[in-house]
Amino acid sequence: MQVTSVRTMRVEGPDPGGIGGKARTYSFLLVRVDTDAGVHGIGEALDFPGVRPVLEAVGAWLVGRDPLRIGPIVRGMLYGALPAPGPAHAQSIMSATATVAGPPAWAAAGLEIALWDLAGKALGAPVHQLLGGAYRDRVRVYLDRSGVAEVTDLDAWARLGERAVAEGFDWLKLDLEQIAPDHQPDPWNRQIGTAAVAAIAERIGAVRDAIGPDIDLGLDGHMSHDVESAIRIGNALGDLGLRWYEDPVPITSLASLAQVRNAQPIAIAAGETFTAEQFRQAFEAEALDIAHPDVLFIGGLGEARRATTVADLWNAPVAFHDNGAAVATIATAHVAASIPNLLGMEYHFHDAPWVGALARRDVPLFRDGGVPLTEAPGLGLELDERVCRDHLAPGESWFGH
């Protein structure tokens, strides 16, 4: 079996919930790999600058090659000589794709997801089985609810939480910088004032009161604050039963992250842009309680699996960051099901039904607050052509046709 083509398609549409309850338009990049055996695979990549050109270049290189050599292909993209003539193993670290971060890694993820889907279809096995077998048949989801448009309306905060619970979810996350923007006179200095801390505590408290003590609630700091401010925020919110405090400070400084972790009571989650090696360094620095990898950032399912093994060696749990549409979400669920130390995985686009409808399968995307797994080959999905065509970005067509 040989690859005959690698094609991409950009889709976009409205996200009414957006950021802080404010609507936005969001886009996704879908990937398709075809073979001379008539088997194809579907993937998804971040629609970020530079990703599509890498996919086009590597896609041209991949034509005529064995799509089941997933490990060598991805490792070549991340660490070696792709695209280049010759076999898939890396012969150089000086190639255009030899980086574990940025567009080559993001492109590698989209391509790798499609290759896993293709491999599963060719071998008649679900991806979670190819990854070693599933520990669970459903992956718990935490909804990213960001915030509300009218931040001073405590009833709006309560309704935000009540809706998630009413729709079957028992875990949600809020965006810290969207909770009290009315108390942030200088958004550049990473500081936070006393009034802002009080407002944040009051507004998160309204959510906690609405959902009760048994629903998990997380907080994403989006690296918005300095060490002193993050510590004060964590201590002020210590009685609200938060599951974690994510990215409280810029995560490029593990020393700063460790300072925050050791000076306030809430567990620290971080790492959506980390490689496996960076997770090792974070645990060695005692900067982390919960590993938070992202399949689309790290370079795919295999690289994410490596990161979760690092966390497991440090006896730490894993929650997957996920800013993707249906394909990425289902792919993330496959790798999440295959690891023992799982807390759950994220979903952003609950207010935009078309995002979850881009792919269809034999079961709903969500059931009982999680993503159910099936035994269908590959990722167990196919793109819904009608939904995709309805949301083609300007100038796009169905994979070039």
pLDDT of residue 82: 65
Say if residue 211's pLDDT is above 70: yes
Residues 231 and 97 in one domain: no
pLDDT above 90 as % of the chain: 90
The verdict on residue 228 lying in a domain is yes
- Average pLDDT, whole number, for the chain? 94
Instruction: Label residue 76 by pLDDT band (50, 70, 90).
Output: confident
Q: Supply the DSSP symbol for 341.
A: S
The verdict on residue 129 lying in a domain is no
The verdict on residue 373 lying in a domain is yes
pLDDT of residue 100: 85
The verdict on residue 133 lying in a domain is no
Instruction: Label residue 86 by pLDDT band (50, 70, 90).
Output: low
The verdict on residue 291 lying in a domain is yes
Residue identified by tokens 């993330």 is: 332
For residue 27, what is the domain's CATH number? 3.30.390.10
- Classify each residue of 34-62 as buried b or exposed e, where b means 16 or more C-beta atoms within 10 Å of its C-beta: bbeeebbbbbbbbbeeebbebbebbbebb
Give the mean model confidence (pLDDT) for residues 347-373. Answer: 97
The verdict on residue 130 lying in a domain is no
Residues 33 and 151 in one domain: no
pLDDT of residue 91: 53
Say if residue 89's pLDDT is above 70: no
* The amino acid at 133: G
pLDDT of residue 95: 65
CA–CA separation, 199 and 233 (whole Å): 11
Residue identified by tokens 């090659």 is: 65
pLDDT of residue 352: 97
Burial class (CB within 10 angstroms; exposed 0-12, middle 13-18, buried 19+) of 391: buried
**pLDDT tens digits for 171-192?**
999 999 999 999 988 878 999 9
Range of the domain at 368: 138-382
Instruction: Label residue 99 by pLDDT band (50, 70, 90).
Output: confident
Residues 148 and 119 in one domain: no
Instruction: Label residue 300 by pLDDT band (50, 70, 90).
Output: very high
Residues 162 and 42 in one domain: no
How many folded domains does the chain comprise?
2
Residues 288 and 172 in one domain: yes
Listed residue (105, 94, 146, 164) closest to 294, CA to CA: 105
Whole-structure pTM value: 0.95
**pLDDT tens digits for 100-129?**
889 999 999 999 999 999 999 999 999 999
pLDDT of residue 148: 96
Give the mean model confidence (pLDDT) for residues 184-201. Answer: 93
The verdict on residue 285 lying in a domain is yes
Residues 92 and 8 in one domain: yes
pLDDT of residue 185: 84
**pLDDT tens digits for 264-278?**
999 999 999 999 999
pLDDT of residue 193: 94
Residues 159 and 79 in one domain: no
pLDDT above 70 as % of the chain: 96
pLDDT of residue 79: 83
The verdict on residue 131 lying in a domain is no
Residues 215 and 120 in one domain: no
Residues 95 and 151 in one domain: no
Give the mean model confidence (pLDDT) for residues 215-219. Answer: 98
Give the mean model confidence (pLDDT) for residues 66-93. Answer: 74
Beta strands in 71-129 (DSSP E): none
CA–CA separation, 24 and 21 (whole Å): 9
CA–CA separation, 206 and 184 (whole Å): 20
Say if residue 142's pLDDT is above 60: yes
For residue 281, what is the domain's CATH number? 3.20.20.120
CA–CA separation, 263 and 245 (whole Å): 13
Residues 165 and 101 in one domain: no
Give the mean model confidence (pLDDT) for residues 139-166. Answer: 96
Give the mean model confidence (pLDDT) for residues 242-255. Answer: 97
CA–CA separation, 161 and 173 (whole Å): 10
Say if residue 84's pLDDT is above 70: no
Q: State which of 76-90, 181-195, 376-390 shows the largest mean pLDDT.
A: 376-390
CA–CA separation, 356 and 383 (whole Å): 11
Residues 159 and 94 in one domain: no
Residues 168 and 97 in one domain: no
Give the mean model confidence (pLDDT) for residues 234-253. Answer: 97
Give the mean model confidence (pLDDT) for residues 225-252. Answer: 97
